[in-house]
Amino acid sequence: MLRVPEALARVLEHAAPLPVAERPLENCLGRRLAADVWADADQPPFDKALVDGFAVRCEDLEGLPKRLRLGETILAGQVPSRPLAPGEAATIMTGAPLPSNADAVVMVERTAPGFDSVEILEQAIKPGMNRLPRGRVYRAGDRLLEGGVELTPARMGLLAAAGASRVRIVDWTRSAVVPTGDELVDFREVPGPGRIRNSNALMLETLLARRGLASWTSPILRDEADVLRNGLKRALELDVVLVIGGVSAGQKDLVPATLRELGVREVFHKVRIKPGKPLWFGVGPARSERPPALVFGLPGNPLSGLVNFLIFVAPALDVLDGRPARGLGILPAYSAVRLEHRSDLETYLPVRIVDAHRTPTAPPTVEPVDYGGSADLASVVRADGFLVLPDRETTVEPGEIVGFLPLD
């Protein structure tokens, strides 16, 4: 059976960035830009007023206060009809283009406007004041953003201003969530005898949603070869397939065989991890435009699926997204208790932080919460994270430093 880092290495060696696709800008928040974006025009595209007031020629304003004749009024969205005549000012609004020979804008608050003239009050005036010259923000041909950056709100705004209404990105991951099992009913229903509600699909959908990924969830597939074959076939058109259940050693665990039949090559089955040991991983058949689907067969126990997602699926999603895979972010913590670990499985034990008032930089002290095993999702909502025990027997003494995976 593979150790956790070995299994993760197998997953990552089958993951590759998704192809670059041109997508509407408004759908690209959080995505990676795939190529540099260059400005198609100067920004601003004209000399622009930064305040409401009066466009002037500074040479007319020696020895303030001084009165200027009022020419035209230029609103935002309009264009001046002519240059300023000597001794003339144009009424101008924030964002409007300056007349070609105006070199400053005087704020309305520093003037005394009249009917057909305006008095410019005493103040320091210099060319360029309250004027954003054409091309000051960027010039046509400037590189606005480098390929590889993540599209944040400010960068989205910059691209919108530059008219990059479609952008080339590393395409987003299309994921399928496929709940299987005769025992499952929709979580909106009351389960009959021997049945339980399907809670894993919603958990996996929201784990994906937290990473900015929409997903397609299949109907619950019954444990019958035909039903599984049809449902899984559709899922294999997507990039990542999270099949829930049917991967243990039971008589009705038809998922691995059905996947193989559909051309999914098994990479590994079972990992030395607890919870989550029955994890199955394979790679789908070749596709023309996109890399083969990564297929995860997750155990049906909710905590197993959660831990498998965090450890194996999440880093693969990073790679598909064109990023380096990020690990789990395990931090040091003190164990509050003695733990006798008699297992060769790397073990994730739900724990809570018991010293809430510690300083922010000191490792927290943690103790296990009441835990009913991998089906016990209630334990993890009482927990602040997992204490990580190694894949060999060991004894942790109280006060010993251990690995701690915080959960949000």
Q: Rule CB under 8 A: is residue 327 a binding residue for a second copy? A: no
Q: What residues pair up with 120 in beta bridges, in sequence order?
A: 66, 111
**Residues 6+ away with beta carbon under 8 Å from 28:** 151, 156, 167, 169
Residues 63-102 that bind a second copy (CB under 8 A): 73, 75-79, 91, 93-97
**Residues 6+ away with beta carbon under 8 Å from 359:** none
Q: Which of 10, 66, 110, 136 binds a second copy (CB under 8 A)?
A: 136
Q: Which of 23, 229, 252, 352 binds a second copy (CB under 8 A)?
A: 252
Q: Which of 3, 195, 341, 352 binds a second copy (CB under 8 A)?
A: 195
Of 288 and 361, nearer to a second copy (C-beta) is 361
Site string for a second copy, 100-129 (x = CB under 8 A): --------xx--------------------
Alpha-carbon gap, residue 1 to 125, rounded angstroms: 78
Residues 330-359 that bind a second copy (CB under 8 A): none
Nearest residue to 228 (alpha-carbon basis) of 199, 202, 262, 278: 262
Q: Rule CB under 8 A: is residue 213 a binding residue for a second copy? A: no
Residues 388-407 that bind a second copy (CB under 8 A): 407
Helix (H) or strand (E) holding 106: strand 104-107
CB of 29 to a second copy, least distance (A): 5
Q: Rule CB under 8 A: is residue 137 a binding residue for a second copy? A: yes
Query: How many residues line the site for a second copy (CB under 8 A)?
Result: 93
CB of 79 to a second copy, least distance (A): 4
Residues 31-60 that bind a second copy (CB under 8 A): 43-46, 48, 50-52
Nearest residue to 301 (alpha-carbon basis) of 219, 189, 181: 181
CB of 348 to a second copy, least distance (A): 13
Q: Rule CB under 8 A: is residue 187 a binding residue for a second copy? A: yes
The piece of 118-126, 189-197, 312-320, 385-393 that touches a second copy (CB under 8 A) is 189-197
Are β-strands 184-185 and 265-269 bridged in parallel, bridged antiparallel, or unpaired?
Answer: unpaired
Alpha-carbon gap, residue 313 to 328, rounded angstroms: 11
SS3 content of the chain, % helix, strand, coil (to 5): 20, 30, 50
Counted residue by residue, the chain has a size of: 408
Peptide bond into 44 cis (omega under 30): yes
Residues 144-183 that bind a second copy (CB under 8 A): 144-145, 152-158, 160-163, 165, 181-183
Q: Rule CB under 8 A: is residue 262 a binding residue for a second copy? A: no
Alpha-carbon gap, residue 157 to 134, rounded angstroms: 19
Contact present, 319 and 173 (Cβ < 8 Å)? no
CB of 287 to a second copy, least distance (A): 29
Site string for a second copy, 273-302 (x = CB under 8 A): ---------------------------xxx
